[in-house]
Structure 1
Amino acid sequence: MHPRASEFTDRAADRGVEVDAREFPEGTKTAADAADAVGCEVAQIASSIALVADELVVVVTSGANRVSEAKLAALRGVDPADVRMADADEVKETLGWAIGGVPPFCHDRSVPVYLDETLRGFETVWAAAGTPEAVFPVSPERIEAVADAEPADVAVE
């Protein structure tokens, strides 16, 4: 197992969460790639997207959705013009993970996490496990509990 995936599974275990990380050498960089690899719907891919909206936040969104910057701005009480994607350095420095491998929890620093409410319609979703080649199955409720995530309407309509 890739050292970063092992690190994630160890961090999760420290929080009482068993992770069944599965690696796909061909990569799971996009939601469609991940869905093809694990054999699920694109909507069941839980993509952790890092954005800046007065501070770095993580939005765990369905792979079938795009994050609405306007809806995130309203949640955060900031001007929509001030919401942007976090850059690779910000993601690595704050969360400790590289873009494409950001898990929904076990970040280096505590940040606000929002859970796309459409994910709650699935029993199991698949999230990144520390690298762009590793994913793990998890219930949306578990993400919500472990990440202290706020369910929210964050999808572009």
Structure 2
Amino acid sequence: MTTDLPSRSRIVHESLRAAGIPGDIVVLPDAASTAALAAAALGVEVGAIANSLVFWSDGEPLLVMTSGAHRVDTAALAERTGRSAITRASVEQVRAATGQAIGGVAPTGHPAPLTTLIDEDLAQYDEIWAAGGTPHTVFPLTFDDLVRLTGGTVVAVV
């Protein structure tokens, strides 16, 4: 039931429903603030975890949805996407851009839409899992749903 969800996760839930995405937000007993923890809690491959990483690039936040099996190569990604540079956003920048805390950033439910890049390797999974607005919440969706939900551009991130 959505009233049992943390307020940030209720916002994410509403955004998912507005986009026609049926997956329910799951509240985990322990925080899953890393891909490895989330994968272990869900019993899935770490690569099926869609990490929401917020960077700063060309004066704006940049959301990169990457497979939990990868580390983003920011220099290569900047070159590939024509950006001057991509650097890790500060805690304050993440909170301002998403309204969510690091370790629980969802791909949706933000105060305003974010420019989003999506790791092409997530496409190999029938189901992927993303954070639901807090480190204790996650939800399932398909790769196509993630692209549609975020309006993201699919790229190689490594």
* TM-score between both structures, scaled by the size of structure 2: 0.91
Write the distance in 2 (CA, Å) between the matches of 1:53 and 1:72.
11
Q: Deviations over 1:80-135 (max 9, x none)?
A: xx321011111111122111111112321122101100000111000000100100
Aligned equivalent of 1:7: 11
Equivalent residues in 2 for 1:1-157 (5 A)? Answer: 1-54=5-58, 55-79=60-84, 82-155=85-158
Q: Give SS of 1:64's match.
A: coil
Point out where structure 2 has 5 or more consecutive residues left out of the alignment: none
Higher deviation after alignment, 49-58 or 105-114: 105-114
Alpha-carbon shift at residue 19 of structure 1 (Å): 3.2
C-alpha separation in 1, matches of 2:22 and 2:98 = 20
For residue 31 of structure 1, what is the amino acid of its counterpart? A
Q: TM-score, normalised by structure 1?
A: 0.91
Alignment size in residue pairs: 153
The letter for the 1-side match of 2:65 is V
Q: Distance in 2 between matches of 1:106 and 1:20?
A: 14
How much does 1:136 deviate? 0.6
> Aligned-residue CA RMSD in angstroms?
1.3
Q: What SS does structure 2 have at the residue aligned with 1:101?
A: coil
Which consecutive residues of structure 1, in runs of 5 or more, have no partner in the other structure? none
- Report the secondary structure of 1:28's partner residue: coil
Give the secondary structure class of the aligned counterpart of 2:138. Answer: strand
Distance 2:114 2:8 in 1: 20
The AA in structure 2 aligned to 1:67 is V
What residue identity is the alignment partner of 1:95?
Answer: T
- 1:117-157 residue CA offsets vs partner (Å, 9 max, x unmatched): 000011100000010010011101100011101110012xx
Of the structure 1 ranges 47-56 and 7-16, higher mean CA displacement relative to structure 2 is found in 7-16
